[in-house]
């Protein structure tokens, strides 16, 4: 099996800036990357090896069977792990892989970034990615 390491927790935020300020001020996180989606953004915060991925909360409850987790504020969106190969990970899961989204390539943001979302036996969405990197200079600039 391809080795997995802890990646991040995706959080839905009523106000991304307020949530970012809270985690940077009180928990020592720093901004690692911002992904601009045009009409929205995803903010990645980092503290050591731990990441938080901040999403603007949706107003409607998303069907986690079709997306990357629930969109309501105050709910955990998904758990996430990184691996060297999403395809090898999926091959290892075989029939146990209930894919809810992807695999998707995010080369427009980071060359080689590829992600798949699967459902665990309790219905929790688990994201598995390869190739994510901090924005160059972003982590160092914030003093970590």
pLDDT tens-place string over residues 86-108: 999 899 888 877 899 989 998 88
Q: Which residues of 73-98 are buried (b: 16+ CB within 10 A; e: fewer)?
A: beeebbbbebbeebeebbeeeeeeee
Range of the domain at 77: 4-141
User: Can you give the CATH number for the domain in which 8 is found?
Assistant: 3.10.180.10
- Number of domains comprising the chain: 1
d(CA 65, CA 43): 24
Are the C-beta atoms of 118 and 99 separated by less than 8 Å? yes
Burial of residue 115, with CB atoms counted within 10 A of its CB: 0-12 exposed, 13-18 middle, 19 or more buried: buried
Maximum alpha-carbon separation in the chain: 45
74 sits in the region (left: phi over 0; alpha: psi -120 to 50; else beta) called: left
pLDDT, position 17: 92
pTM: 0.59
Given pLDDT bands bounded at 50, 70 and 90, which one contains residue 57?
Answer: confident
For the record, the structure tokens of 84 come out as: 């060297």
pLDDT, position 115: 92
């Amino acid at each position: 099996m391809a080795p997995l390491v802890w990646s991040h927790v995706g959080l839905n935020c009523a106000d991304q800036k307020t949530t970012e300020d809270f985690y940077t001020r009180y928990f020592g996180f720093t901004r690692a990357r911002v992904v601009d989606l045009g009409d929205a953004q995803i903010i990645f915060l980092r503290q050591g090896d731990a990441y938080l991925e901040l999403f603007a909360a949706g107003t409607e409850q998303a069907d986690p069977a079709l997306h990357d987790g629930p969109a309501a504020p105050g709910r955990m969106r998904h758990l996430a792990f990184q691996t060297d190969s999403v395809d090898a990970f999926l091959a290892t899961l075989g029939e146990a892989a209930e894919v809810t989204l992807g695999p998707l390539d995010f080369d427009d943001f980071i060359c080689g970034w590829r992600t798949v979302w699967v459902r665990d036996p309790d219905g929790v969405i688990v994201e598995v990615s390869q190739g994510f990197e901090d924005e160059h200079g972003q982590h160092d600039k914030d003093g970590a």
